[in-house]
Amino acid sequence: MSLAWDRQRTKPIHVYGPPMTEELIKAAVQYFAISAEIRIADGGRTVPIAEIFFGHDVGTGLIYQDANIKVTAVENSHFAFHKGPAAGNHKSYSYRFETPDRVIVFTGDTGPSDAVTEFAKGADLLVTEISSCEDRKQMMIKDGRWQAMTPTEQEGIMRQATQGHMSLDDIATMATGAKVKTVVLSHLTQRVGTEDYTSWAVEVNKHFSGQVLVAKDLMELTPLLRKT
């Protein structure tokens, strides 16, 4: 956001998301405020950063619709395991984009969810998060974070990794149940000693007969999608 503003953006950006999105954007603008004031004082900018970025809290259901696209949202299970005072305070949504020729569903961060499976029914493309609990643990062991945690903290991080995120089996089950055509694995957990995620796609394909792709920065999917 600060980079966009610093590069002379003048057209407002509106960010839509679950409750607290507006609060998050306001906090980001406040964080950038000192640098923005300096840039304006330098003479390089004239439009205050607070006049460029706006956050909007939206619920589930229909989010946006015009002649070209329909966007809907459903709450997923990313925060369902929360307990204590924070339980229920935070929401995580999955989004469905319907166009005249294609339906794309983004899970966002989520654990296994019947609601998201139903939401993804018949999608041409399911962009799903994937988080390997074991790879995540091994990376934390390698950089020392795991050893620095208490047993309670270790238990908490593993609970979040297993209940708040999707395993490969979870993805295969969701994709098969929703009868989607193509799955794109995203939100890739860093692995120890390798950046090859081909085996993950192979694992999903053991229980899902559709196409499985591994997301890469700047990937263009249209040429890769199977013709139907």
Do 81 and 159 form a contact (C-beta atoms < 8 A)?
yes
Residue 190 pLDDT? 86
pLDDT in tens, 172-202: 999 999 999 999 999 998 888 888 999 999 9
| Domains of the chain in sequence order | 1-58 (no CATH), 59-224 (3.60.15.10)
- Reference 186, options 207, 200, 175, 176; nearest CA is 200
d(CA 91, CA 77): 9
Alpha carbons 228 and 224: distance in angstroms, whole number: 12
CB-based burial label for 123 (10 Å; 0-12, 13-18, 19+): buried
Instruction: Please tell me what DSSP assigns to residue 196.
Output: -
Intra-chain end-to-end CA distance of the chain, in Å: 39
Percent of the chain with pLDDT over 70: 97
pLDDT digits 0-9 by tens, 70-90: 999 999 999 999 988 988 889
pTM value is 0.87
- Which of the four pLDDT bands, split at 50, 70 and 90, describes residue 226? low
Distance of CA 69 to the CA centre of its chain: 20
C-alpha–C-alpha distance, residues 136 and 159, integer Å: 12
